[in-house]
């Protein structure tokens, strides 16, 4: 049985793959990304937070890529919650402002793209 490539790479599946790649990048190169964005090395606590966030993006992205039509509202809610929390962090902690803004932007983009696909009904086959 052959799979139609257009159906196998639905927009929501592609968003999931992108999220998984971002999570992998955070896990493999998180401290380097932090230095690039923040201008200094992450503390031990920040390194733990980077790893947890990387795991979350990797897991969520993989699940979204494997089952793009399922749990879309949950993915949007998780990303919106994360984006809001990062905006609050950016407002309250000037030392973490730049990494928080980058993290908020990634989460907001993911939530927005997933939400648009969910509303338009283009999530793909279950």
Domain chopping of the chain, boundaries:
5-120
CB atoms near residue 97 (< 10 Å): 16
pLDDT of residue 116 exceeding 60: yes
- Whole-model pTM above 0.75? yes
pLDDT of residue 39 exceeding 90: yes
Average pLDDT (68-77) is 84
Digit-coded pLDDT (tens) for 5-14? 445 668 888 8
pLDDT of residue 4 exceeding 60: no
Contact call for residues 126 and 69 (beta carbons, < 8 A): yes
Q: Residue 104 has which token pair? A: 């908020």
């Amino acid at each position: 049985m052959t799979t139609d490539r257009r159906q196998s790479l639905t927009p929501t599946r592609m968003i999931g793959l992108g999220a998984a790649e971002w999570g992998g990048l955070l896990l493999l190169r998180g401290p380097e990304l932090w230095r690039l964005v923040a201008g200094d090395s992450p503390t031990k606590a920040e390194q733990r937070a980077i790893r947890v966030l990387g795991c979350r993006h990797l897991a969520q992205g993989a699940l979204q890529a494997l089952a793009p039509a399922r749990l879309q509202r949950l993915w949007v809610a998780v990303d919106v919650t994360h984006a809001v929390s990062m905006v609050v962090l950016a407002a309250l902690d000037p030392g973490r402002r730049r990494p928080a803004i980058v993290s908020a932007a990634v989460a907001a983009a993911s939530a927005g793209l997933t939400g648009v696909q969910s509303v338009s009904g283009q999530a793909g086959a279950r």
